[in-house]
């Protein structure tokens, strides 16, 4: 039973999940610091008010703290924008660059019968022996 537990723990998916959680927590701290230390002061410089938590209104002796909601919405939008522009867009650009197909070799063509790669000047396929037209 102990052997099975050890095998379970050392399975790739469990280790990958643990690494992902640790990296995610560290990344969350970086993004939070980015928003708190850079983006929020920029918003405060533009709007002139860095903290909206004091904004309230009262209806029948009930206080509504709509300023706290505004703070949380700004924090959410700022974090989402930071993740999108500083993580998602660059990673998508890198994966798009990595997926580019190599240029097609103009010295070969596909046989119309067996779809094998044959020289462009060939008049007969070396694999299925069917006649093909030479490239123009």
Digit-by-digit pLDDT tens for the chain (136 residues) are 888 877 776 776 777 787 788 888 888 888 778 777 777 778 778 877 767 777 889 999 999 888 888 878 877 887 788 778 888 899 888 888 888 776 666 788 889 899 998 888 888 998 998 888 876 6
Q: Which ranges of 1-136 does DSSP label H, i.e. alpha helix? A: 2-9, 12-34, 40-47, 66-83, 89-99
Residues 95 and 109 in one domain: no
Query: pTM of the full predicted structure?
Result: 0.48
What whole-number distance in Å separates Cα of residue 39 and Cα of residue 34? 7
At 59, is the secondary structure helix, strand, or coil? strand
Residue 54 maps to which CATH number? 1.10.1200.120
Q: Would 4 be classed as within a structural domain?
A: no
At 109, is the secondary structure helix, strand, or coil? strand
Q: Which residue range(s) make up the domain with 63?
A: 10-99
**What's the pLDDT score for residue 34?**
77
What whole-number distance in Å separates Cα of residue 74 and Cα of residue 24? 22
Residues 46 and 71 in one domain: yes
Residues 19 and 59 in one domain: yes
| Gap between the terminal Cα atoms of the chain | 69
């Amino acid at each position: 039973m102990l052997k099975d537990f050890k095998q379970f723990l050392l399975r790739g998916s469990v280790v990958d999940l643990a690494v992902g959680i640790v990296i995610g927590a560290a990344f969350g701290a970086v993004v939070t610091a980015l928003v708190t230390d850079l983006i929020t002061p920029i918003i405060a410089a533009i709007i002139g008010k860095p903290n909206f938590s004091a904004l309230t209104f009262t209806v029948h002796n009930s206080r509504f703290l709509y300023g706290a909601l505004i703070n949380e919405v700004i924090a959410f939008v700022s974090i989402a924008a930071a993740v999108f522009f500083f993580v998602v867009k660059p990673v998508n650009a890198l994966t798009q660059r990595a997926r580019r197909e190599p240029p097609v070799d103009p010295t070969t063509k596909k046989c119309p019968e067996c779809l094998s790669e044959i020289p462009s000047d060939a008049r007969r396929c070396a694999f299925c022996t069917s006649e093909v037209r030479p490239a123009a």
